[in-house]
Chain A
Amino acid sequence: MQTPNAAHDTTSTPEDPGKLMTGAEMLLECLHREGVDIFFGYPGGVTLPFYDAVYDSHIKHILVRHEENAAFAAAGYARATGKTGVCCATSGPGATNLVTGLVDALMDSIPLVAITGQVHSKLIGSDAFQEADTFGITRPATKHNFMVRNVAELPRIVHEAFYIASSGRPGPVLVDIPKDVFQARGHYKPVDSIHLPGYKVFTEGHAGQIRRAAQLIWEAERPMVYAGGGILAGHASEELKELVELVDAPTVCTLMGLGGLSSSHRNFISMPGMHGSYASNMGMTECDLLIALGTRFDDRVTGQLGAFARHARVIHVDIDPAEVGKNRTPDIPIVGDVKRVLQKLNKVVKEFEPEMRATNANARGAWWDKIRGWMEQHPYDRRHDDSVIRPQHLMDEIDRLSGGQAIVTSDVGQHQMWAAQLIRFNEPRLWVNSGGLGSMGFGVPSAIGAQFARPDKLVIAICGDGGFQMSLPELSTIATHSLPIKIVVMNNGCLGMVRQWQTLFYNNRLSSVALECFPDVEKLAGAYGFTGRTVDKPHELAEALETAFRTPGPYLLNVTVAPMENVYPMVPAGGAVYEMVLGPPQPVAVE
């Protein structure tokens, strides 16, 4: 069908007009050229022409049951692979439903391209049916966004979107496409290069600063590596491991950085921050050199900023210049790609090794003794109980069965923190969670994306009974594709983290946190044609998990746990990390 603007929708030269295609076909061609083999979405009125083209495409489209979950599934795919995830929604409500997923990806620096349909160009601004100002709404929700005004610019914009999403500090990019642009015909010619003169990607790092950093690293008596999600985004695990081993530095990985250094590595301490380990937070407090790599000094990590790493000089490596110096002014700022910077840094560290290794060797030994002491003094609570399943027991069992190998996705709240504390991640990209935004309802849809990305892997979605009920519609998606996802609901009958704060800071006045009428999981899973089971006895837990993980296809395991357990250690909001509470109230003083 010809549309009025098709006639001048051509960029082609007389010699080579390019292939005549519709906008919808061009979009698919561009997705193919970007290496996309799967995307997650939900069709609607204005994306009809696109989905008509999808019908003939070899690119797999996964029909989710809610657009928010299309974004979460695409993010799960991206988090499990490092590749750009793609999601698609129609105009109006479809696009607005994506917004949470976009902000989630923005906060966690996840490469995502979202395609949204828009009403016909002629109707834009007329309050047409299912019209929303997607371009305006998603501007602060994305790294960048585009509205395509004609079919001629479509291919260029799609490739720009992928480039922006996946380069520099990754993030979500949205492309809004009016219905008539999908329908219009134009001459398609492959886009060979992208020119964004104002889009700066800093990769190399300042050579002088890198040398100074290496010098400081050898001079330190109490070094500490603080590794964030940038290690994963930058594919820098190998380089991190090399540095850590070269200088034998104790290392903490943030919630986003877990798996950046294997949890089983001898130098790995744990996660720092609000619910981080005692040794991690004490290490951060007492270190004299903090080597911050691909991380952003988030408030959940630093606690009270003025008291954070107060004795330490700071080396801060990040690809985003706006992060360097945002919360903590570093002594050595290095703006660059953490992989490239670490490659160079490791070289200089090695160069200095012969003359520097002996320096402070004793002090470093004493530092390790101190850290080991802290680790032994206050390990995480993993205790089991005979009468009731403690949440920590559940995570401990999952950890045992995973052996640091399974992909674990989580929702947000207490279960997320216990999972992060107690489950090992021996490779990057095994731990998939909503860190910055803390979006409930993330665990199940992100597991869908992760399982499609890694069909070889055991994927466990750990949810609370709250977040799980936010993602119920996706049970249908899981059943449709017989995805062997193991959903483990840590069921404490309430919104656990909110309840914990009400208990600790609001005189235990438990307001609107009880989740009554949790569905019968046997019937619920049964309704979708797979197995559901509830377990509430501690001695049955191991077997129940083993059975769930062994059973082919999807499995829903509802684990009734002690309802009033609190996550410890806990740094009260705004407190210094060394003031963490280790258990039912007793602050720890630092001499």
Chain B
Amino acid sequence: MLQTISILLENKPGALLRVTGVLSARGYNIEGLTVAKTLDPELSRMTITVDVEERLRTQVIKQMNKLVNVLQATDMTESPSVIREMVLVRIKCAQENRTAVLKEAEIFQARVIDSSLEGFAIEATGVTEKLDEFIDVMRSYGESDVSRSGAVAMSLETKKLRLQPPVPTGAGAQTL
């Protein structure tokens, strides 16, 4: 089963690589990854979908939390959260199928964003499994191209963000 990890990190060069490096160094393949800046433009929110067994996942999240640029890494698998993904489908469909495709899109609450003689471009959002089904249905009507966003997640609990206060220059050496 795939898990979702949500990470709040500083929007700095290399920060993304540091986070994904924790996974790649251990040989894990990232199934999905989204990242964009938050309300505070100096911070980014990243959602990673990955398959890591539970015991190691705790370790991986601890390693992520250790990163200087990471403010908080949370395992969304263990807390109430909403997870959504978006998909864009471009489908080629014959004239006689156009109504049926539109009907199916409606069932999935998908939106047509482009229409041409060749077919449609449709966007849909939902949980991963629902999008899988949507894509299967669309492909049954004709040749389709698919671009998925990867999951974005939001915790339903407010988790206290503990930020470190400034320290005086040279603080590291003071224990000597």
What is the interface of chain A, defined by CB distance below 8 A to chain B? 33-35, 82-84, 111, 135-136, 139-140, 143-145, 147, 159, 162-167, 190-201, 234-235, 320-322, 325-326, 337, 339
User: How far does the alpha carbon of A84 sit from the alpha carbon of B175 in the complex, in Å?
Assistant: 12
Residues of B within 8 Å of A145, CB to CB, are 14
Question: Does B172 lie within 8 Å of A166, measured CB to CB?
Answer: yes
Residues of A within 8 Å of B25, CB to CB, are 140
User: How far does the alpha carbon of A199 sit from the alpha carbon of B59 in the complex, in Å?
Assistant: 17
Question: Does B68 lie within 8 Å of A164, measured CB to CB?
Answer: yes
Residues of B within 8 Å of A140, CB to CB, are 21, 25
Question: Does B172 lie within 8 Å of A165, measured CB to CB?
Answer: yes
Known: A84-B173, A167-B172, A196-B68. 7 other contacts (CB 8 A): A147-B13, A163-B170, A193-B166, A198-B69, A199-B68, A234-B175, A322-B62
Question: Does B164 lie within 8 Å of A198, measured CB to CB?
Answer: yes
Which residues 55-80 of B have a CB within 8 angstroms of A? 58-59, 62-63, 65-72
Q: Which B-chain residue is minimally distant from A321 (CB atoms)? A: B62
Question: Shortest Cβ distance from B10 into chain A, in angstroms?
Answer: 6
Question: Shortest Cβ distance from A165 into chain B, in angstroms?
Answer: 7
Find B67's partner among A33, A34, A82, A198 (CB 8 Å cutoff): A198
Question: Does B62 lie within 8 Å of A200, measured CB to CB?
Answer: no
Find B173's partner among A34, A136, A143 (CB 8 Å cutoff): A34
Chain A interface SS verdict (over half): loop
User: How far does the alpha carbon of A163 sit from the alpha carbon of B172 in the complex, in Å?
Assistant: 5
Question: Does B173 lie within 8 Å of A198, measured CB to CB?
Answer: no
Cβ of B18 within 8 Å of any chain A Cβ, yes or no, is: yes
Question: Shortest Cβ distance from A520 into chain B, in angstroms?
Answer: 44
User: How far does the alpha carbon of A176 sit from the alpha carbon of B164 in the complex, in Å?
Assistant: 25
User: How far does the alpha carbon of A162 sit from the alpha carbon of B168 in the complex, in Å?
Assistant: 12
Question: Shortest Cβ distance from A271 into chain B, in angstroms?
Answer: 26
Find B167's partner among A143, A163, A325 (CB 8 Å cutoff): A163
Question: Does A139 lie within 8 Å of B9, measured CB to CB?
Answer: no
**What are the 3 tightest A-B residue pairs by CB atom distance, in nearest-first order?**
A166-B172, A167-B172, A322-B62
Cβ of B39 within 8 Å of any chain A Cβ, yes or no, is: no
Question: Does B167 lie within 8 Å of A194, measured CB to CB?
Answer: yes
Most chain B CB neighbours (cut-off 10 Å) among A136, A163, A337? A163
Question: Does B173 lie within 8 Å of A162, measured CB to CB?
Answer: yes
Binary A-proximity of B136-175 (CB < 8 A = 1, otherwise 0):
0000000000000000000000000011111111111101
Residues of A within 8 Å of B18, CB to CB, are 139
Question: Shortest Cβ distance from B4 into chain A, in angstroms?
Answer: 20
Find A35's partner among B14, B21, B62, B170 (CB 8 Å cutoff): B170
Q: Which B-chain residue is minimally distant from A159 (CB atoms)? A: B169
Question: Does B68 lie within 8 Å of A144, measured CB to CB?
Answer: yes
Question: Does B173 lie within 8 Å of A139, measured CB to CB?
Answer: no
User: How far does the alpha carbon of A337 sit from the alpha carbon of B175 in the complex, in Å?
Assistant: 10
- Report 28 cross-chain contacts, Cβ distance below 8 Å, ordered by A residue: A34-B173, A82-B176, A83-B176, A84-B173, A135-B13, A139-B17, A140-B25, A144-B68, A147-B13, A147-B14, A163-B170, A192-B168, A192-B169, A193-B166, A193-B167, A193-B169, A194-B166, A195-B166, A195-B167, A196-B68, A198-B9, A198-B68, A200-B162, A234-B175, A321-B66, A322-B59, A325-B58, A337-B175
Question: Does B170 lie within 8 Å of A321, measured CB to CB?
Answer: no
Residues of A within 8 Å of B68, CB to CB, are 143-144, 164, 196, 198-199
Question: Does A326 lie within 8 Å of B59, measured CB to CB?
Answer: yes
User: How far does the alpha carbon of A163 sit from the alpha carbon of B10 in the complex, in Å?
Assistant: 18
Question: Does B163 lie within 8 Å of A320, measured CB to CB?
Answer: no
Find B172's partner among A136, A162, A191, A192 (CB 8 Å cutoff): A162
Q: Which A-chain residue is minimally distant from B24 (CB atoms)? A: A140
